[in-house]
Amino acid sequence: MRESGILFPVFSIPSRFGIGSFSKEAYDFVDFLEGAAQGYWQILPIGPTGYGNSPYQSFSAFAGNPYFISPEKLIEDELLTWDECNSAFFGGDENKVDYGAMYENRDKLLKIAFGRFREQLKDRKELDREYKSFCKKEIDWLDDYALFTAIKSKMNGASWLTWEDDLKRRKASALEKVKKELKEDVEFVYFKQFIFDRQWRALRKYANEKNVKIIGDLPFYVSLDSADCWSHPEVFLMDKNLNPKVVAGCAPDAFSRTGQLWGNPIYDWKAQAKDEYGWWERRIRRNYDFYDVIRIDHFHGFCEYYAIPYEDETAENGKLCKGPGIDLFNTLKKKIGDLRIIAEDLGNNTPENEALLKESGFPGMKVLQYGFTSWDSCYVNHRHINNCVVYTGTHDNTPTRAWVEEINDGERSFCRRYINSQNSDYGQLVWDIIREAYRSVADLCIIPLQDYLCLGREARLNTPGTSDGNWEWRLKPNFLSEDLKRSIREMTELYSRVPKIPED
The H or E element spanning position 122 is: helix 99-123
List the domains of the chain with CATH numbers: 3-225+268-305+326-494 (3.20.20.80)
Backbone CA torsion sign across 96, 100, 103, 108: negative
SS3 94: coil
319-322 and 304-309 strand pairing: antiparallel
Mean pLDDT within 414-421: 93
How much is the pTM?
0.96
Question: Is a pLDDT exceeding 80 seen at residue 458?
Answer: yes
The H or E element spanning position 286 is: helix 278-290
Mean pLDDT estimate for the chain: 95
Per-residue model confidence as pLDDT tens digits over 257-286:
899 899 999 999 999 999 999 999 999 999
Per-residue model confidence as pLDDT tens digits over 352-380:
889 999 999 999 999 999 998 777 788 99
Per-residue model confidence as pLDDT tens digits over 390-400:
999 999 999 99
CA 491 to chain centre: 27
SS3 238: strand
29/120 Cα distance (integer angstroms): 31
Asked about 98 being catalytic, the answer comes back as no
- DSSP code of residue 162: G
356/379 Cα distance (integer angstroms): 19
Question: Is a pLDDT exceeding 80 seen at residue 383?
Answer: yes
CA 440 to chain centre: 25
What is the model's pLDDT at position 102? 96
SS3 93: coil
Q: Dihedral, CA atoms, 283, 288, 293, 297, nearest 10 degrees?
A: -20
433/421 Cα distance (integer angstroms): 9
**pLDDT tier at 11, thresholds 50, 70, 90:** very high
Q: Tell me which of 3, 72, 197, 344 is the catalytic residue.
A: 344
Asked about 396 being catalytic, the answer comes back as yes
Per-residue model confidence as pLDDT tens digits over 148-199:
999 999 999 999 999 999 999 999 999 999 999 999 999 999 999 999 999 9
Question: Is a pLDDT exceeding 90 seen at residue 468?
Answer: no
End-to-end CA distance of the chain: 18
What is the model's pLDDT at position 504? 67
What is the model's pLDDT at position 112? 98
Q: Tell me which of 34, 72, 144, 297 is the catalytic residue.
A: 297
DSSP codes joined into one string, 453-492:
TT--GGG----TT--SS-S-B-PPTT---HHHHHHHHHHH
Mean pLDDT within 113-118: 98
Nearest CA among 87, 113, 121, 279 for reference residue 199:
113
**pLDDT tier at 456, thresholds 50, 70, 90:** very high
391/295 Cα distance (integer angstroms): 13
What is the model's pLDDT at position 253? 83
Q: Which residues have C-beta within 8 Å of that of residue 276, sequence separation ≥ 6? A: 331, 335
Q: Tell me which of 28, 396, 405, 432 is the catalytic residue.
A: 396
Q: Which residues have C-beta within 8 Å of that of residue 482, sequence separation ≥ 6? A: none
Asked about 297 being catalytic, the answer comes back as yes
